[in-house]
Amino acid sequence: MLAKRIIPCLDIKDGRTVKGVNFVDLRDAGDPVELAEIYSKEGADELVFLDISATEQKRKTLADLVFRVAEKVNIPFTVGGGISSVEDVDVLLQNGADKVSVNSSAVKNPQLINDLVAKFGSQCIVVAIDAKQIDGEWIVHLVGGKVPTERKLFEWAKEVEERGAGEILFTSMDNDGTKDGFANKALAKLSTELNIPIIASGGAGNKQHFTDTFVEGKADAALAASVFHFKEIGIQELKTELKENGIPVRI
């Protein structure tokens, strides 16, 4: 069995790391370059950077930040936010990103996934899906969770896979920041129906939640933010507990 991955997530706004609850009420969580270096040394398997307020004008700022982080870490990291073209991805990869994450732009223009995969390869392309339950259906949302769409989570995830994406980063907006655990039923369904890795996001509050999402949610990786940023859970202690619980991890 492949090792399960632990991935700290740095949500970036105006060059700082921030964290909220249910995608709102953001508070400062520190300097992203410093945090990235710490996580790399502490044994994180990967990092994810999401520029949650990205606009076309900020592309250079994000590229500069990616370059500064790349100098400090020795683990793969994924960059997302405001990516809408092959050119955007090219800039980020040239500045040291290993993978890119697309979200709103892929929903608006699904062909973008095909184009990026054709240019850079599946292993490089992560599609992030933010969804929440409305009347019992998981509905995909855009623009940092502000705009509901007519897309349904499982149908969109299947299309994403068919278009060649290498991974899906699924964030449950209902669970985000609540620290009540991941959306394991939805994750298990995704993992069962799809053949590409699923990254669980939204809801981590304690070490048991990570075990639960790997066992019950069948997730391939688990992403979290505030529990790492505010030192509530240490990455090495988390991995030690996961290993004790029979979860394959890189120590």
Q: Which long-range contacts (CB under 8 A, 24 or more apart) does 51-59 make?
A: 51/12, 51/13, 51/79, 51/80, 51/81, 51/82, 52/11, 52/12, 52/13, 52/18, 52/81, 52/144, 53/13, 53/14, 53/81, 53/144, 54/81, 54/82, 54/83, 55/82, 56/82, 58/82, 59/88, 59/91
- At which residue do the structure tokens 């850079």 appear? 120
Distance in angstroms (rounded) separating the CA atoms of residues 207 and 90: 37
Distance in angstroms (rounded) separating the CA atoms of residues 44 and 62: 22
11 catalytic per annotation? yes
Distance in angstroms (rounded) separating the CA atoms of residues 68 and 70: 6
Distance in angstroms (rounded) separating the CA atoms of residues 158 and 135: 21
Q: Which of 45, 51, 88, 130 is flagged as catalytic?
A: 130
Q: Which of 11, 45, 51, 220 is flagged as catalytic?
A: 11
CA 166 from chain centre, in angstroms, equals 13
| CATH number at 5-244 | 3.20.20.70
pLDDT beneath 50, residues of the chain = 21-24, 55
Distance in angstroms (rounded) separating the CA atoms of residues 26 and 18: 6
130 catalytic per annotation? yes
Cβ-Cβ contacts under 8 Å for 83 (sequence gap 6 or more): 54, 89, 92, 100, 101, 102, 105
- Enter the tokens of residue 129: 């899906």
For 178, phi then psi, to 5°, come to -80, -25
pLDDT of residue 21: 47
pLDDT of residue 220: 98
3-state secondary structure of 7: strand
Cβ atoms within 10 Å of 7's Cβ, excluding its own? 24
Query: Where do the structural domains in the chain lie, given as residue ranges?
Result: 5-244
pLDDT of residue 157: 98
pLDDT of residue 114: 98
> Mean pLDDT of all residues in the chain?
90
pLDDT of residue 22: 46
pLDDT of residue 23: 43
3-state secondary structure of 54: coil
Cβ atoms within 10 Å of 54's Cβ, excluding its own? 21
3-state secondary structure of 99: strand
